[in-house]
A and B are shown apart, each in its own frame.
Chain A
Amino acid sequence: MTTRILRRFTVPLLVVAAAGCASGPRVRYGDPTKVETLTEQYGSTDLQGIAERMVQSLVRHPAISGGNRPVVQVSTVKNKTTEHIDTKTITDKIRTALIKTGMVRFTAVSDANREMLDNLEYQEHSGVVSKASRKRVGRQVGADYLLYGEIDSIVKRAGRQSDVYYKFTLNLVDVETGLIEWADEKEIRKESTKAVVGP
């Protein structure tokens, strides 16, 4: 009896299984602002939290909120963790948010200085650009401040438990005096517990 039932349903079950396996991966758009907890590694929520914290803190400082619209250059943010973290995405996010406030100006020297110099060279010497609209060399605005920082981590594992602590530090330094005018840090802790069975 059991063998007869198994024989009757084996082929239909195999067909259903094959149909399920034959379909391609299912893709759908997700919410870029949702909290991501796929793994304990650095992720989008950490990036967003760090940027928001730094911007909130920076706009309070007199150097930024004084109304002078200082010129800031983004320097290096070092990754001192053992993970691959593109720290430029953090500074890009901070820079975009600050520009949107209208309180700060950023120089593109760090990102596009070569392109700007090439363009000035082209405008000056190609003979194609009209004299009236030509931009002159030697008029670039110098940065008042430099933004630099680092991200560190401490990773601990014990059995099925993992604890990852991140600390992101950012500094605003006066280019002329060398004084650090503003500094802040964002701490993140992520705890992970592996399931008893499975990966």
Chain B
Amino acid sequence: MNHVPAIALLILVLACGRPANRLEYGIEPPSDSRIVVHDRLAVRHGEVHTRREGLIQHVQVELVNDGASDEAVEYRWEWMDAEGFQLGDTISSWQPVVVAGKAHVLLTGAGPGPAAVNFRLYLRRPAR
């Protein structure tokens, strides 16, 4: 009888512990130095392809999820010119992606202009 209020309180705390209206969008250190990982991720990067189409540099990076459950990741691109100056920061926002279990996704990026020749891809776990 004395434990009932404590149990009720525990249930309330556990139920309220998750933020209301929690919204979900659907690593081993990378071997490519152009890929920067902020947290330990359960996905790894696969192949990295770059190609110049006309005046714009395009990049494709494969993210692989070897696990069974879906993994949510956030990514953003940063572009630099030949001298290492960062370009076009207004276009590089963090974007969410969900890599399904035992699957891969391709992250594609395009430079903000003809001067963009080098890139960095940042990966992190979504904030809870």
Contacts and interface: CB of A to CB of B under 8 A. Distances in A.
Chains A and B come from one and the same complex: yes
Interface of A: 32-35, 37-40, 44-45, 48-49, 51-52, 55-56, 59-60, 65-67, 96-97, 100-103, 189-199
Contacts of B55: 59, 65, 67, 101-103
B25 A100 contact: no
A175 B21 CA distance: 46
A69 B127 CA distance: 41
Nearest to A64: B54
Contacts of B16: 195, 197-198
Contacts of A37: 23-25, 126
Contacts of A191: 23-26
Contacts of B126: 35, 37
Given A100-B88, A100-B113, A33 B93 contact: yes
A39 B76 contact: no
A123 B15 CA distance: 69
Size class of the B contact interface (CB-based, 8 Å): 35 or more
Interface string B9-20: 000100110111
A100 B110 CA distance: 13
Nearest to A34: B94
A103 B56 CA distance: 10
A35 B24 contact: no
B109 A45 contact: no
Contacts of A52: 91, 93, 95
